[in-house]
A and B are shown apart, each in its own frame.
Chain A
Amino acid sequence: MSMFEYAPAPESRDVVDIKPSYGLFIGGEFTDGSGPSFKTVNPATEETLAEVATASSDDVDRAVQAARKAFDAWSGLPGSERAKYLFRIARIIQERARELAVLESLDNGKPIRESRDVDVPLVAAHFFYYAGWADKLSHAGFGPDPRPLGVAGQVIPWNFPLLMLAWKIAPALACGNTVVLKPAETTPLTALLIAEICQQAELPPGVVNIVTGAGETGAAVVAHPDVNKVAFTGSTDVGRLIARTVAGSGKKLTLELGGKAANIVFEDAALDQAVEGIVNGIFFNQGHVCCAGSRLLVQESIQEELLAALKRRLATLRLGDPLDKNTDIGAINSAEQLAKIRQLSEAGESEGAERWSPACELPGRGYWFPPTLFTGVAQSHRIAREEIFGPVLSILTFRTPAEAVEKANNTPYGLSAGIWTEKGSRILWMADKLRAGVVWANTFNRFDPASPFGGYKESGYGREGGLRGLEAYLDV
């Protein structure tokens, strides 16, 4: 028992006004979708939040046409004018930050502490960052007048609904493209609030179009012949399908896919900091993070000490109401994802790894999974190879730096990696050898609009963020 119990500190949901039903955002207007509507639920309570329209392929076609119609004028605007629209959007996001954060936590299940302090500030920062590029593209190293691609079809996942929208829309618009974006079917609400923000910013109609729906709607966006650029963030399996669909079409494609990152702790690491980094690495956003540090590689000599410290720390994590400001671990986003996490965790046990969770009471309704560790994990186990996308950490050991590199790179993925050691030369040596797009040394899960993000190997291709992130949306 802790010395003091926490009193509940719920963030008020009065700040959001959820309508009973939502349509599509096409050509600057909310319109009906012609597909059957679907329900979006609060994963913490299973309460239905709203009915949302499904965009049929005809609706997607309308959205692409609206984007095409808007393209000439938008790409023809001076960059400084496009910038001002993006700055406006960034400002309105800041003004309506609390509303966005609460709605994100309601629809996604992530703790308000994260949506308020991480997601929404990064979303605003991302629009600010790319706004500033819009009138500086001639200085970006792509020649005197780099051109946009045209209409961008963008499909985003449910783990960071707003942040992934910002990563897609902000650079696309800054470079002069227009977009048709499909949010995930379990988290469509904040994208629709952004549509409203586009209206408040008086963004020209058709520059941003939002079509809601499931996989079929996304497939229609990707396959549409008048889309010039496809950007997708999501699973590697869907990424493969998209790459196959887009093959031969001449569409520019960027993919940000799955990961199975190694978080590597050496015996000389600052242990308390490493423990915080490990916890942040795998339990941030319930582990629904493609770059999560889901494989802990710990040097054999400190295995027991680290494991004991990690277990002590896990016992202090608070799981529950995402809107409670004390909550560390919120709800799993959907019943489907919960089933997948359970299935892989069961495979971990049946393949011989040892499972541990702190004493942790799960709410009676909603989708929940306790923070979980597996020890005695072999590289051949499914929980060491497959992306679980949940709060489940697989712990493996190593003896030498070379062995750590070998094990870390022994995966078809290559999105991120972590290194914990006090020795600078070892950090640089490891960072050089790890085949991953982002390497966090003595930190983990840091994101910034100025910093390129994206993977090696089967974690996809292209970068989002920074100067490199412009390339995805320019004809270069």
Chain B
Amino acid sequence: MSRLAVRKTYKLFIGGAFPRSESGRSYPVTSPKGDFLANASRASRKDARDAVSAARKAFPGWSGATAYNRGQILYRIAEMLEGRRAQFADELGLGKKAALESVDAAIDRLVWYAGWSDKITSVRGTANPVAGPYFNLSTPEPTGVVAVVAPADPLLGLVSVVAPVIVTGNACVVVAAERTPLPAITLAEVLATSDLPGGVVNILTGHQAELAPWLAAHMDVNALDLTGVTDADLALRCEQDAAENLKRVLGPAGDDWSGDPGLGRMTAFLETKTVWHPMGV
């Protein structure tokens, strides 16, 4: 007699915990062929607000951690992902070769971003030769809480938008790819075992069109990444609502994650702080 598998309940990831949606709702997730895979939690407006609170709470500690420490943790995420290579490859629902390539690319991307933690300040900061007896230095700092609408590519795309946001010290709330949300929750298990402080990454599954507008209008969200929004009207509405508290907005993007990421996804969520002090004896 073959053994009956113990299935996983896919829940949300908020503040380092795995709650179900407070709404009690879920939605069926199917494979590309239409086979039932699981019921994912369908997050509500309240879940989104809870996630923002968790991110805000995590922000001072995470942005105050040393760059070295953040880099170590991102590298640790890559290590944990490497250990679950086969599991992710299965979950991606691609051919085996393509799936492994995609997982490997996600791992490598995390390693790449991990190394930026203690270099981005040197590359983006400036020493400013002002016309007077002053010490004057500009350094990049994280923007704060970033709401991210993740692209359809469920693992490589997700890692490619989350890593640049958090490596510099931001905290985020991520809306996972709507039709392929399961790898995002499995990634949350990786994050939860990588010494990443709870609340730095919060992952919501559910309907993009339902969640994104609340995050775009939320007054305690500092920036908005609309990468995964494919509906132009929804993207426009989110960008307009983001104006209310002057959120920094990164617009929708295509879904090719194979190229050189560049610095743009990090710099979009960095502020520049300039400190002056007089020189004297």
**Which residues of A approach B to under 8 Å, CB–CB?**
125, 141, 236, 239-241, 243-244, 247-248, 250, 255, 257, 412, 427, 431, 435-443, 446, 448, 450-454, 456-461, 463, 466-468
Complex CA distance for A436 and B274, rounded to whole angstroms: 9
Assess whether B240 is interfacial by the CB under 8 Å rule: yes
Are B246 and A439 closer than 8 Å at their CB atoms?
A: no
Are A431 and B272 closer than 8 Å at their CB atoms?
A: no
Are B275 and A466 closer than 8 Å at their CB atoms?
A: no
Complex CA distance for A72 and B235, rounded to whole angstroms: 32
Partner of B243, one of A243, A442, A468: A243
> What would be 11 A-B contacts, judged by CB atoms less than 8 Å apart?
A243-B242, A243-B243, A435-B144, A439-B275, A446-B132, A446-B276, A450-B129, A451-B274, A452-B128, A454-B272, A456-B273
* Cβ of A345 to closest chain B Cβ, rounded Å: 27
* Cβ of B263 to closest chain A Cβ, rounded Å: 9
**Given A247-B236, A452-B272, A468-B272, list of 13 further CB < 8 A pairs?**
A240-B243, A241-B243, A243-B242, A243-B243, A247-B249, A435-B144, A439-B276, A443-B276, A450-B130, A451-B128, A452-B274, A457-B222, A457-B245
Assess whether B68 is interfacial by the CB under 8 Å rule: no
Assess whether B248 is interfacial by the CB under 8 Å rule: yes
Given A239-B246, A248-B236, A448-B136, also A468-B273 (CB < 8 A): no
Name the B residues within 8 Å of A459 (CB-CB).
246
Name the A residues within 8 Å of B272 (CB-CB).
437, 452, 454, 463, 468
Complex CA distance for A412 and B220, rounded to whole angstroms: 10
Are B277 and A412 closer than 8 Å at their CB atoms?
A: no
Complex CA distance for A443 and B235, rounded to whole angstroms: 43
Name the B residues within 8 Å of A437 (CB-CB).
271-274
Assess whether B98 is interfacial by the CB under 8 Å rule: no
Name the B residues within 8 Å of A458 (CB-CB).
245-246
Which of B128, B134, B246, B271 neighbours the largest number of chain A CB atoms within 10 Å of its CB? B246
Complex CA distance for A454 and B270, rounded to whole angstroms: 12
* Cβ of A99 to closest chain B Cβ, rounded Å: 23
Instruction: Give the bracket for the number of chain B residues in contact with chain A.
Output: 20 to 34
* Cβ of A100 to closest chain B Cβ, rounded Å: 19
Are B235 and A446 closer than 8 Å at their CB atoms?
A: no
Name the A residues within 8 Å of B132 (CB-CB).
446, 448
Assess whether B138 is interfacial by the CB under 8 Å rule: yes
Which of B134, B248, B276 neighbours the largest number of chain A CB atoms within 10 Å of its CB? B276
Complex CA distance for A453 and B272, rounded to whole angstroms: 8
Assess whether B239 is interfacial by the CB under 8 Å rule: yes
* Cβ of A269 to closest chain B Cβ, rounded Å: 13
Closest-by-CB residue of B relative to A461 is B248
B window 106-158: CB within 8 A of A: 123, 126, 128-132, 134, 136, 138, 143-144
Question: What DSSP secondary structure best describes chain B's contact surface?
Answer: mixed
Closest-by-CB residue of A relative to B239 is A247
Are B126 and A466 closer than 8 Å at their CB atoms?
A: yes
* Cβ of B230 to closest chain A Cβ, rounded Å: 14
Given A458-B245, A461-B246, also A125-B131 (CB < 8 A): yes
Partner of B275, one of A241, A431, A454, A463: A431
Assess whether B278 is interfacial by the CB under 8 Å rule: yes
Name the A residues within 8 Å of B128 (CB-CB).
448, 450-452, 466
Name the B residues within 8 Å of A466 (CB-CB).
126, 128, 138, 274
Name the A residues within 8 Å of B244 (CB-CB).
240
Given A247-B239, A457-B222, A466-B128, also A451-B276 (CB < 8 A): yes
Are B275 and A247 closer than 8 Å at their CB atoms?
A: no
Name the B residues within 8 Å of A427 (CB-CB).
277
Are A448 and B248 closer than 8 Å at their CB atoms?
A: no
Closest-by-CB residue of A relative to B278 is A443
* Cβ of B168 to closest chain A Cβ, rounded Å: 14
Complex CA distance for A134 and B213, rounded to whole angstroms: 41
Complex CA distance for A438 and B274, rounded to whole angstroms: 5
Name the A residues within 8 Å of B126 (CB-CB).
452, 466-468
Are A440 and B276 closer than 8 Å at their CB atoms?
A: yes
Are B277 and A443 closer than 8 Å at their CB atoms?
A: yes
Given A244-B243, A247-B243, also A442-B278 (CB < 8 A): yes
Name the A residues within 8 Å of B239 (CB-CB).
247-248
B window 230-256: CB within 8 A of A: 232, 235-236, 239-240, 242-246, 248-249, 251
Given A446-B276, A452-B274, also A468-B138 (CB < 8 A): yes
